[in-house]
Structure 1
Amino acid sequence: MITFNRVHSAVVHAKGDRQQLLGVHMTEQAADTISKLPHFASLLKEIKEEAERARSEALPELPFSVFHLFASQGTRKEYENPYFDKRGRLLALVLDAWLHPQQSDLEALHNVIWSICDEYTWSLPSHIAPTLEGVEASRVPPEQVVDLFASETAHALAETLYLLEGRLNPWVVYRVRREIEARVFHPLFDSPKPFHWESAIHNWSAVCGGAVGMAALLLEEDRERLAGMIDRVVRAMGSFLEGYEADGCCAEGVGYWSYGFGYYTYFAEMLFAFTDGELSLLQSDKIRRIAAFPAGVSVEAPKYVNFSDCSENYTPSTGLLSRLHLRTGQPVPVMTEVPSLHADHCYRFPQTVRNLLWTDPELLFGKVATGTFYYPDTAWVVDKQLLSGSLFAFAAKGGHNDEPHNHNDLGHFLLHVAGENLLADLGAGVYTREYFGEGRYQYLHNASEGHSVPLINGMQQSAGRSFTAEVLRYEHQDNKLMFSLDLAGAYPQEAGLRSLIRSFTWSCDESRGEAELVLTDAFAFTESLNEVKEVFISLHEPILETGSVIWRGNSGEVKLFYDANLFKVQHEAIDSQDHHAQAMVVHRIRLEAKAVPSEAFYSFRFVCK
């Protein structure tokens, strides 16, 4: 733990070089060098195009009619799309101006900054009490709610002033400073009463704390006040790290790993630079294990093991991973490109800016990390093997059903063959009020019926910390990986379970270029007649044959063998939407067994080739 004494001494007496606050020496030559590097060509083209669009198109508005939609009907996109469009314009215009120091016409940039400063609140409506009574009872009014996006906006504007120091109109600079003070610094730091996220053990504490902390390091001139501000942020960062078990696994998935641990790292690096190395938040063994997580769960780019509210497609932030590799020595996942400007639909500043400043081109186009990656505290296992030039991967999870961005998915598993997740996780759905409310598990993406886990006597798994999976076995034997879970604790009492042992045996045959998963479910019930529906989820349409189901991708396939005398097969094609409201079709296989006795044992064989 870093004490206030250390924080105070390091901050008050800091003599760090202000030009190093972004982790490199910021000079005009740095921008010129970046503009000539080939791996940035596509990103720089996008920055130029987006800046040109920002100069030619009218700014979007955020009227009351869209602000109120979350409270009146629970939807978010109508407000968030124009809100993030403005942040995208800001990012592109700032980077275009920084990359071209001779650029003098900053009218469009001034206007987008002024427009952001005009917003009623920098928080999203979904993070404000939905009723006027709730707003009046809140700790602060809406314009002073410090949520993820108010924090990110404060940081983006503070870094704008830093990157373009001496080039912006003094009125714009003055207003930015005043707005950040009134909307963020004052409500957060001038009251001893904390915001809820300061003790959160998930991404909020790191994102809010990291963004506000960087804004403070960039703007606050009173060193005594700054020391208190940084101490509060460091304590929030401690809360964030408590959300990680010792194994370093991010239960929210790699996308939220990048979000939360990314902001943790961006702040840690700026604090390190500000204090000339006196305060370092990237030195522990736990940090090194957290840094290694993306390499463990990556398969073939851009695919990842994506339990929880996480997309299976993810383009890693090359700057973030390059800097973590430099600091911790941990491996990085396969990085085939510097992310697009539009890879993050929220257009957060540090991701793109640090991609430009920190990306190490020698780390691009590396090899996927193979082998077994076991996270005992989180109860995830991932195994990846190269066979005949193709990657075969298996992943499964235990844990509990009250994880951050929880899905009721204990015992769920994935199979990856030659670039595709053929048995898959659906990832996040469209975020709405009900998605994070009482109706969360009515959404297919979150419910156990949207995962490859059984439905038992008509009952799905239940949500809550008490609904758990117990790891019974994890071992390698005769070139086979064995992982077993007792899933009875994941289901409500009405399911009538005494025990449910789900066992996975995964093996790879290099000579045949094939992998095999044998899945067994051993049931013990309280009653003599029961019903079981085994469920398997894919985004690929299956081919049904007697006693088998085939999921075929572009370069490989998975074939399931089951006992047709015991099970009746049903295929459902279910229309859904991904996190960005894009249409998707979910293919769900149900294998139904009726009149199941008080004890039953079922085996399923998946051949991957």
Structure 2
Amino acid sequence: MSVAGRWASVPPEVRRRGVGGAASLLGVPDVGDRGAWESVDAGTVDGVLAEAAADRALPWPRTVLSDYARYWRDGVRVAYEGPAGELRRRTSTAVLAAAMSGEHLDEAADGLLMLCEQTTWCWAAHESFATARGEVVADPDDPYVDLGAAETVQLLAWADLVLGPALDERVPGLRRRLRREARIRVFQPFLTNRDWHWLGLDGRLHNWSPWIQGHILSAALLLEPDPETQLQLVDAAVDGLSRYLDAMPADGGCDEGYAYWWNGPARLVEALELLDRITDGALDPWQCEPLAELAQYPQRMALGDGWYVNVGDGPARPNPRQPWHVLHRWGRRLGNPDVTAFAAAHRDEPLSPALGLGRVLIGLFDREWWSAAAQPLELPRSTWLPDTELLVAREAGLTLAVKGGHNDENHNHNDVGSFVAAVDSVPVLVDLGQPTYTAISFSPRRYEQWVVQSAWHNVPLVDGAEQAPGAEHRAEDLQPEEDQLTLTLPGGVVRRTAALDRDTAAIRVTDTWQDGHAIVEHFVIAGTPHHHRAGELVVRSLSGALVKLSWDAELGPGDLERRAVDDELLEAVWGPEVHRLAIDAAGPTSFELTVSRFEETL
């Protein structure tokens, strides 16, 4: 049964009681329950109070029109999104500090009112209403509901829950303002406009759907005073969440990658858990497919030491500060000790206000999470995701990940058949991942960005042509085995087999084609090249390991191109430069690359 079906089967009186009484059923106490707040993890309290004290010494972030307009003027998004995010982060920190210590209440109120006074909560990159008018100023009477609006309304809702009595005493009237802004900016547009692309009514669903609708759900439970409107909001959010889960592949894969998994499937599960809490377990969504598979995705994609198999716009080394308590509870609900153990392996990661106020508050009062013992990191020997078309195989410090798929995936890169080779957890032949987003990132000019082009992935140039975007450009005739994947690349010319040879501790990638085609093999390298000669290149990886790439010496040394990394996000992962090895395979009808440890010393 779908989530929507389960929700409909909950007795109406249980739904009404749960929705109307959510504030007392979610398991998060208000500031008046000093016993509960004084029992919060001392290390987390110290960290939040130190952060709040540091914030006090700084001016509040300012969101100004000139920064907003830069999206249209020169394509820059971060000039506005940075201060807007910092205002939310600082307000969340002040709310937590006020609940933990009784101090910082004025800072929390100041931040909440500043959020209410913003002309828009929508980020410029998403403000299509203004764009359609040929303007750069958002219209408060025609608000666009996007990720920024969702993040802001959830902050207001959870702040109201925990600080409500204190706000009424200190700043009477603020809570009424919070409700007004939530109603005008989010609730009314959500109910009256069903054209939002993130609803997925056209069948195209991505992480916006659970991210936005999960936040609308929590905000409706905590801020909407009218019972009938509250039920309408919750029912609409449940319908959207159910549609998103129904669209997930049965294998539990996420075509947006591990980093976006936290803002896709994880957001979904957080929302489902809220519904389960307010119905006292009557919803019981945990048997819905494919929740059990989705919970295993982070472990299946982990390389170790903070590195992950990345696809599309996913970073290979994302922020380790994730809400691991969410995954831990998910594993507990499923009764899956592998999932809970993987989450517990990250038990020491701080619970940061930057994660979002709701996530932090739920985590603070998850007693089982705080009592969980840290676990060693255990990774599966091999994973094949048949719907997502992704193979990951590991052996003795070597990891091979190879993808099929198509070139119209969410956050797509033109990378069908590309692979990642990692040694001691660290990628050497890499997928560069997400660059800093600008105005062209999700525009018709998207593929002008070098990092999304197939020429900067580990796939060949075929007859002088790169892979093109579009769902018709896909892998064909896939033959998966435990340690290898064979597939035909888009265009039907090249047949590729990528394999992990456990006996010889090597990764081998073999391409074959019919005579008469010009093939140039491309390999994107992170690390420092050494000993470049015909048939061989030694690379010192970012971890210091020595890795040998070898091929038929008759093809020569190939061309090794250095490229400066001119993007802050990419540089934070890969350093100031990467290299691309291009080998002209003209003449033969096959090519093989071997990746192994270099056992000698430099």
TM-score past 0.5 threshold = yes
Check the 8 A contact 1:217/1:274 in 2, yes or no.
no
Superposed, 1:278-357 pairs within 5 Å as 278-314=282-318, 315=320, 316-330=322-336, 331-332=338-339, 333=342, 335-340=345-350, 344=354, 347-357=355-365
Identify which of 386, 390, 396 aligns with 1:376. Answer: 386
**Cα deviations by residue, 1:514-555 (Å, 9 ceiling, x for unpaired):** 621121100126xx3x43221111221222133211222335
Amino acid in the other structure paired with 1:501:
R
The CA deviation string for residues 460-494 of structure 1, in whole angstroms up to 9 with x for no partner, is 11100110002431124xxxx221010033xxxxx
Q: Which residue of 2 aligns with 1:495?
A: none
User: 1:117 offset after TM fit, Å?
Assistant: 0.7
Of 573, 576, 581, 1:585 maps to 576
Structure 1 counterpart of 2:268, which letter? Y
| Cα distance in structure 2, aligned partners of 1:575 and 1:142 | 45
Distance 1:15 1:74, change over 3 A: closer
1:500 lines up with 2:494 in the alignment = yes
Distance apart, 1:269 and its partner CA: 1.3
Distance in 1 between residues matched to 2:93 and 2:252, nearest whole Å: 34
Q: Deviations over 1:432-486 (max 9, x none)?
A: 111111221121221112211111222111100110002431124xxxx221010
Asked whether the equivalents of residues 11 and 226 of structure 1 are also in contact (C-alpha less than 8 Å), the reply is: no
Structure 1 match to 2:147: 148
Does the C-alpha gap of structure 1 residues 533 and 30 become closer, same or farther in structure 2, counting only changes over 3 Å? farther
Partner SS for 1:165: helix
Q: Secondary structure at the match of 1:606?
A: strand
Q: 2:550: which partner in 1?
A: 561
> Retained in 1: the 8 A contact 2:312–2:411?
yes
**Change in 2 beyond 3 A, CA 1:25/1:288:** farther
Cα 1:354–1:572 shift into 2, 3 Å = farther
- Taking the aligned partners of 2:45 and 2:166, their CA distance within structure 1 comes to 21
C-alpha change, 1:61 and 1:582, in structure 2 (3 Å) is farther
Q: How far apart are the structure 2 equivalents of 1:249 and 1:424? A: 20
Mapped to 2, the partners of 1:104 and 1:590 lie a distance apart of 58
More strand, by proportion? 1
Q: Which amino acid aligns with 1:446?
A: V
State how 1:389-400 maps to structure 2 within 5 Å.
Answer: 391-400=397-406
Change (3 A) 1:248 1:581: closer
SS in structure 2 opposite 1:307? coil
- Pairs within 5 Å for 1:11-410: 11-14=15-18, 18=22, 21-23=25-27, 27-36=33-42, 41=43, 43-100=44-101, 103-104=102-103, 106-129=105-128, 133-134=132-133, 144-168=143-167, 169-189=171-191, 191=192, 193-199=194-200, 200-314=204-318, 315=320, 316-330=322-336, 331-332=338-339, 333=342, 335-340=345-350, 344=354, 347-358=355-366, 359-362=369-372, 364-385=374-395, 387=396, 391-410=397-416
Which amino acid is the alignment partner of residue 462 of structure 1? A
What SS does the corresponding residue of 2:581 show, helix, strand or coil?
strand
Equivalence for 2:488: 486
RMSD across aligned positions (CA): 2.7
Amino acid at match of 2:331: H
Distance 1:22 1:254, change over 3 A: farther
Contact kept, 8 Å, 1:411 with 1:469, in 2: the verdict is: yes
Q: Aligned to 2:596, what secondary structure does the other structure show?
A: strand
Give the distance between the partners of 1:348 and 1:240, measured in 2 at CA. 22
Matches of 1:469 and 1:44, distance apart in 2: 50
* Length-normalised TM-score, structure 1: 0.88
- Which of residues 389, 413, 419 in structure 2 aligns to 1:413? 419
Preserved contact between residue 296 and residue 373 of structure 1 (Cα < 8 Å)? yes
* Helix, strand or coil at the partner of 1:295: helix
Q: Which portions of structure 1, spanning 4 or more consecutive aligned residues, are displaced by more than 6 angstroms?
A: 135-140
Identity of aligned residues (%): 28
Corresponding letter in the other structure for 1:185 = F
Contact 1:531 1:592 in 2 (8 A): no
Change (3 A) 1:337 1:276: closer
SS of the equivalent of 1:170 reads coil
Deviation at 1:591, TM superposition (A): 3.3
CA deviation vs aligned residue, 1:25-73 (integer Å, no higher than 9, x gap): 775333222233xxxx2x4443222211332322121121111110111
Contact 2:182 2:223 in 1 (8 A): no
Partner of 2:537: 549
> What amino acid is the match of 1:538?
I
Q: Is the deviation greater in 139-148 or in 279-288?
A: 139-148
CA contact (8 A) 1:265 1:282 kept: no
Check if 1:6 corresponds to 2:13: no
Matches of 1:572 and 1:350, distance apart in 2: 46
CA, structure 1 residues 289+569, in 2 after alignment: closer, same or farther (shift >3 Å)? Answer: same
Task: Count residues in correspondence.
Answer: 574
Q: Is the 8 A contact 1:535 1:588 kept in 2?
A: no
CA pair 557-8 structure 1, distance change in 2 beyond 3 A: farther
Q: Does the CA contact (< 8 Å) of 2:562 and 2:580 recur in 1?
A: no
**Is residue 98–residue 104 contact of structure 2 (8 Å, CA) maintained in 1?**
no
Correspondent of 1:601 among 590, 598, 601: 590
Structure 1 residues 456 and 282 mapped into 2: Cα distance closer, same or farther (>3 Å)? same
Aligned mates of 1:269, 1:507 — CA distance in 2: 42
Q: Distance in 1 between matches of 2:346 and 2:214?
A: 28
The one-letter code sitting in structure 2 at the alignment partner of 1:461 is Q
TM-score normalized with structure 2 length = 0.89
Give the direction of change, closer, same or farther, for the CA distance of 1:552–1:595 in structure 2 (3 Å limit). closer
Partner Cα separation in structure 1 for residue 255 and residue 568 of structure 2: 18
- State the SS of the aligned residue for 1:565: helix
Secondary structure in structure 1 of the residue aligned to 2:468? coil
The amino acid that maps onto 2:546 is E
Conserved 8 A contact 1:120-1:143: no
